[in-house]
Structure 1
Amino acid sequence: MSPSKIPESQLFTVLPAELTSAVTQIEQAKSWQDKYRHIMLLGKQLPALTDEFKQDNAQVKGCESQAWLYHHQKNDQHFYLADSDARIVKGLIAILLVATQGKTTEQISQFEVTDYFDRLGLSGQLSPSRTNGLNALAEAIKRYAKESVT
């Protein structure tokens, strides 16, 4: 549930095409420095949540930085709003959202964050705490999708 008076149908939408193309740029970048720069830029492109959304019950536990995640289901599609106080985490969130936004419960349940980050060339580049936070976010996305059908 969102704390805002804005209708959920206006909050939870398909991501802009720029985010998808930015993830493609990360995949095509040759060096870790280029990938990191693209992740940071991607974090700037993800819309910030207003303070009313930065509530304790929306915080993802397991992240070193603060991260908030909201879920909404429309028909069999799942949509998320997310933010972080750290730009790198915000960029990583955007990468996760590109892979899961608007997907079905089945598609999200089959999503493997490790395989996805391997394909993007990011595995092994993130600190253990960032990797743990990333996994916590991916698991929260999967949990929200699964709980909405049970």
Structure 2
Amino acid sequence: MATAAFEDIAETFDFLDDWEERYRHVIELGKAMPPLDPAFQVPATKVDGCASQVWILPRIEDGRFDFQGESDAMIVRGLIAVLHALYSGLPLDEVERVDAQAELARLGLDDHLSAQRSNGVRAMVQRIRQLAAAAG
């Protein structure tokens, strides 16, 4: 059920030889994301449960989910980019059906993130689901 953008990331991860290269790739994905305007980095868009500062701003168009995100940590910004690839463009009712844990496990992220980062990713996924459900 993954999007084409997420499949591209998964394919790239298959070609990268070690976790250090994958880690750098995640950071590069984050650097490539457009920044979230600081005016939207407010308590209403902040994700609770992350060790780093994280903001997610939903954008719903024609019944499809999209979002912008920002973090003060480069790896977390990259993880936001990965989640963006996983969810962006999906119909609102499909967002909740994405098995994010299984999809992210394909990348090996579950084995290489600290417990705090893993908790933060779960918090971001939960927030994305809540935003999509509220919009639907």
TM over 0.5: yes
Deviation at 1:18, TM superposition (A): 8.4
Deviations 1:105-139 (A, max 9, x none): 23211112210111112221100000000000011
Per the alignment, residue 138 of structure 1 pairs with 125
Per the alignment, residue 39 of structure 2 pairs with 52
- Structure with higher Rg: it is 1
Which has the larger share of helix?
2
Per the alignment, residue 51 of structure 2 pairs with 64
Check conservation: 1:78, 1:105, Cα contact below 8 A.
yes
Check conservation: 1:23, 1:95, Cα contact below 8 A.
no
Distance change (3 Å), C-alpha of 1:61 and 1:27: farther
Per the alignment, residue 98 of structure 2 pairs with 111
Sequence identity of aligned pairs in percent? 30
Q: 56, 59, 62: which one pairs with 1:75?
A: 62
Gaps of 5+ in 1: 1-16
Structure 1 CA distance, aligned partners of 2:99 and 2:6?
A: 20
CA RMSD in angstroms, aligned pairs only: 1.9
Gaps of 5+ in 2: none
Structure 1 CA distance, aligned partners of 2:29 and 2:35?
A: 12
Per the alignment, residue 36 of structure 1 pairs with 23
* SS state at 1:92 partner: helix
Matches within 5 A, 1:85-96: 85-96=72-83
Dislocated runs of 4+, deviation >4 Å: 17-23
How many residue pairs are counted as aligned between the two chains? 133
Deviation at 1:43, TM superposition (A): 1.1
